[in-house]
Structure 1
Amino acid sequence: MSAAESRPVTVKPPRTPTRRFEARRNAIIASAVAEINVRGVRGMTLGDVAARLDLVPTGVIYYFKNKEELAAACFMKAIERFDALIGVGLAAGADERTRLQAFVDAYFEFKRQAALGEAEQIVVFNDVRALNSAPVGEAYVNMFRHARELLTGRPGAELPRLDRNARTHLLLSELFWSVAWLVMTDVQDYGRVARRMGAILADGILPPGVAWPEFEIPRLTRDEDPSAEASAELFLRAATALINEEGYHGASVERISARLNVSKGAFYHHNETKDDLVVACFERTCEIMWRAIRAAEAEGGSGLKVLAQASVALVHHQMTGNLPLLRTSALTTVPKSINTQLVRQFDRVSMRFASILSDGVADGSVRPVDVNVAAQMITGMINASAELSFWAPGLPSEAAAAHYVRPLFEGLLSQAPAAG
């Protein structure tokens, strides 16, 4: 061995990023967050991110090699923030109710600060699965497990894993969904919303001593509905599934056509434009939601019974996969040219939920709650059922009422349903 070969090799430690580097990197992430929250993961481009900062795209590539890496950084930062908020809840004390309210309070205080520019905005989680990033997916699952510690159940009556999973999914989804309707709330009232949402999450909307109503689940499909093999119906189903999985921009003409194994020419033979098909998907979802409400109202009963029956019917319908409902959270990335009319339709549904809640308060079947907040939470629960099977695997559709819908009505701190 020569002297040169025996000489120890010196490995230089990686250079510590400078403050200027970190500042520019954080600015790029903030710009990307703003883009993703408007356009979704698939719609965000490095060019648009750069333009917000008066940079050229290569200026972004110096920090992130592609948009997937940049989007992953955005989600990792959001997960880190949520983990910290969950930590606030867990550190609030041994009492489960105190921990849950502390988590909700911390979340809305963060949203208040972000709205006032006192804290950085974070990316919404609507399109997190569209990124298809293993590190982000692993971090999100770890965050979910962390949040699950908030809902252990009472001593001696611990919640089974299936119930903890379903309730944790519901808890996180309600906070995620709040970004869709907080715009209608004055920033200074966010703390008020937190207290009212926390009370519903903990105790539900049933008054003490009121039992869960008995009812049959109404059938939401009709004989005149198009068959699953009909050409137009095939495109509706494919577009709905893709929007649910990957957001508005993820459901491109190419991807919809590929899912059906047809050409783009075949797509345009059956659809004028992609947006026409997207509008049809949203309109059908609204139509089915109204079917559930009308069917429950036609059968009559207390406000609670009508609301529970409609909610169970919609969640059951979504989980059976028959004429699937579109995730209403996908509205956040729909172009403004069609967004306004679609939001108005969903607002009408939420207003009806609020009206039914008011009926329940009046007849004593619903405890006095903020009906506007409760209505949005019911909409959020229905919206999140599109991903329930992912977080509560093995939960059959006929069991969704007991393990997923009732916990919102009876409170996340209520006991698990009896086995069998």
Structure 2
Amino acid sequence: MIPVILSSLVIRPLAGDSRETDWYSVAMDTFAPLDRPAASDQSPRFQQKRDRILDAAALLINERGLKGLTFVAVAEAVGLNTTSVTYYFKRKEMLAAAAIERTVDHLAALLEGAAAQPTPRDRVAHMLKAYLMQDGNARLGQARPLTILSDMRALEDPQRARLSEAYVHRISRGAARLFGEASDPLNRARAHVMLDGLFWSRAWLAKYSVGDYERIGRKLMQLFEHGILPDGASWTIAPPPRDPLPEDGGEITPETYLRVATRLINERGYRGASVERIAGELNVSKGSFYHHLQGKDDLVLECFQRSYGRFSQAQRRAINLPGTHRDRLAAVVGDLLDIQFDATFPLVRITALQALPTELRRVVLARSDRMATRFAGMISDGIEEGSIRPLDPLIASQWLTGLINSAHDMRFWAAEQPGLTEAAALYAHPIAHGLFAPR
């Protein structure tokens, strides 16, 4: 099915918004094709069935993670038998890789369209509009679904290495070039904030109707353009004192498993953090694993509970500090970025939750929403006292929660900066002042 651009989403901004970037006036061409079939696969019938299989695979990965992608489920979704599916993709890994590659191709096409715009503001506005339109059309069944890219890390090589390299060169660097030189550290931070702001929106956009996307787009563009601080304001990003993590003393304990599992989930996803790989990292047997723990799902749930506990503690430490709500928000950001960039024991990436069983996923999502709600309260109080820019607290809190959670992906970038404190301040700069403010 060729993606259809909904005319209902092409809406002019409301009166009185002239001081913001008119992101709805940015001209858009039609989307580039999602696939580049091989010369031997030019048959329309072959390509149509392949597209349907990839659509089903994308939806399954998005709903259940790579763990839930099976030939049986795909066959049922498209009305074929499993033998017919294997005619197009011999192994599940090949199908998953093709679904992810199709999304990388599509995102690269959106970035190419954005890069053709005259200014960084126009480029970001173009990318935001295109992304929201794609998401809205997909929800209405009028565009192909994009695959969540987080499970790319759960693939095995060579697919994992090939797709990771493609993402870095075509998406990460392509996004950084929207702002100027791709190697500039601030442009790399800007690119991450823009991309993860878009990617994370899929976690909370489902709470809204597609008809609300016009307003959501304007509010996200306000964050991209101005950040969360008023004009002329500043903040100091530095972690407050906190109790050190307990030492493991060299013994294998449930805490040891927790740390190793968290790191592997972040690096390899839920599926990649297998019992075999966790035990192998600690040079113990699978039997030893089950001696300490009941099962992998229990361990993963505990990883989320521990991470959310640390996140909540950072918020509560900051809430009790003196100063403005802007100062308290800066303390939370500094505290959590220090944890993420240090990488000794980071917060678990929330993208792993999609592979959890449904009941466990509800528990994790409920706690994530509580943390975002606490941020919304801090932001709302800051708006009331004038230390935070007037903005939508619910959208801004989800945006900020996602950017802190994904900051672990920037740990190698952070290690290239003069120090972790400097890295945190640089990463937080576009959050505070928007994507276009000079440092």
1:98: how far off? 2.0
Give 2:132's aligned residue: 108
Q: 1:68 & 1:308 partners in 2: Cα distance?
A: 42
Q: Label 1:215 to 1:75 Cα distance change in 2 as closer, same or farther (>3 A).
A: closer
Q: Comparing 43-52 with 30-39, which one deviates more in the overlay?
A: 43-52
Q: 1:204-219 residue pairs with structure 2 within 5 A?
A: 204-212=227-235, 214=236, 216-219=238-241
Out of 332, 346, 365, the position equivalent to 2:387 is: 365
Alpha-carbon displacement from aligned partner over 1:304-353 (angstroms, at most 9, x marks no partner): 11111101110111211233210122222221021111111111000000
Alpha-carbon displacement from aligned partner over 1:369-392 (angstroms, at most 9, x marks no partner): 111111011111111111102456
**SS, match of residue 119 in structure 1:** coil
**SS, match of residue 149 in structure 2:** coil
Alpha-carbon displacement from aligned partner over 1:284-309 (angstroms, at most 9, x marks no partner): 10111111111112222111111111
Please tell me the root mean square deviation across aligned C-alpha atoms, in Å: 2.1
- 2:189 maps to amino acid: A
Q: Does 1:17 align with 2:42?
A: yes
Q: Does 1:55 align with 2:83?
A: no
Q: 2:47 & 2:238 partners in 1: Cα distance?
A: 58
Q: 2:389 & 2:238 partners in 1: Cα distance?
A: 23
Q: Comparing 112-121 with 129-138, which one deviates more in the overlay?
A: 129-138
Give 1:382's aligned residue: 404
Give 1:306's aligned residue: 328
Give 2:192's aligned residue: 169
1:361: how far off? 0.3
1:88: how far off? 3.0
Give 1:26's aligned residue: 51
1:113: how far off? 0.7
Alpha-carbon displacement from aligned partner over 1:199-230 (angstroms, at most 9, x marks no partner): 10121011112122x46512444466766755
- 1:258 maps to amino acid: G
1:360: how far off? 0.8
**SS, match of residue 62 in structure 1:** helix
Give 1:249's aligned residue: 271
Q: Label 1:46 to 1:385 Cα distance change in 2 as closer, same or farther (>3 A).
A: same
What residue ranges of structure 2 are gaps of 5+ in the alignment? 1-37
Preserved contact between residue 103 and residue 146 of structure 2 (Cα < 8 Å): yes
Out of 167, 175, 199, the position equivalent to 1:147 is: 175
Give 2:343's aligned residue: 321
Give 2:163's aligned residue: 136
Give 1:286's aligned residue: 308
Q: Comparing 239-248 with 337-346, which one deviates more in the overlay?
A: 239-248
Instruction: Tell me the TM-score normalized by structure 2.
Output: 0.85
Out of 108, 113, 117, the position equivalent to 2:141 is: 117
Q: Label 1:171 to 1:392 Cα distance change in 2 as closer, same or farther (>3 A).
A: farther
1:173: how far off? 1.2
Q: 1:198 & 1:43 partners in 2: Cα distance?
A: 35
Alpha-carbon displacement from aligned partner over 1:3-62 (angstroms, at most 9, x marks no partner): xxxxxxxxxx96453111111111111111112112323442223222322333221221
Give 1:183's aligned residue: 206
Preserved contact between residue 173 and residue 182 of structure 2 (Cα < 8 Å): no
- 2:164 maps to amino acid: G
Preserved contact between residue 220 and residue 288 of structure 1 (Cα < 8 Å): no
Q: 2:202 & 2:432 partners in 1: Cα distance?
A: 22
Give 2:422's aligned residue: 399
Higher Rg of the two aligned structures: 1
- 1:34 maps to amino acid: L
- 2:130 maps to amino acid: A
Q: Label 1:394 to 1:279 Cα distance change in 2 as closer, same or farther (>3 A).
A: same
Give 1:193's aligned residue: 216
**SS, match of residue 300 in structure 1:** coil
**SS, match of residue 127 in structure 1:** helix
Q: 1:312 & 1:159 partners in 2: Cα distance?
A: 25
Q: Comparing 199-208 with 248-257, which one deviates more in the overlay?
A: 248-257
Q: Label 1:195 to 1:410 Cα distance change in 2 as closer, same or farther (>3 A).
A: same
- 2:48 maps to amino acid: A
1:393: how far off? 5.7
Out of 75, 79, 85, the position equivalent to 2:110 is: 85
1:114: how far off? 0.8
Preserved contact between residue 327 and residue 384 of structure 1 (Cα < 8 Å): yes
Report the identity percentage: 39
**SS, match of residue 233 in structure 2:** coil
Q: Label 1:223 to 1:101 Cα distance change in 2 as closer, same or farther (>3 A).
A: closer
Q: 1:354 & 1:225 partners in 2: Cα distance?
A: 34
Q: Does 1:410 align with 2:433?
A: yes
Preserved contact between residue 97 and residue 413 of structure 1 (Cα < 8 Å): yes
Q: 1:241 & 1:235 partners in 2: Cα distance?
A: 10
- 1:136 maps to amino acid: L
Q: Label 1:14 to 1:325 Cα distance change in 2 as closer, same or farther (>3 A).
A: closer
Q: 1:42 & 1:137 partners in 2: Cα distance?
A: 19
Q: Label 1:349 to 1:327 Cα distance change in 2 as closer, same or farther (>3 A).
A: same
Out of 211, 232, 255, the position equivalent to 1:233 is: 255
What residue ranges of structure 1 are gaps of 5+ in the alignment? 1-12, 153-157
Q: 2:423 & 2:338 partners in 1: Cα distance?
A: 7
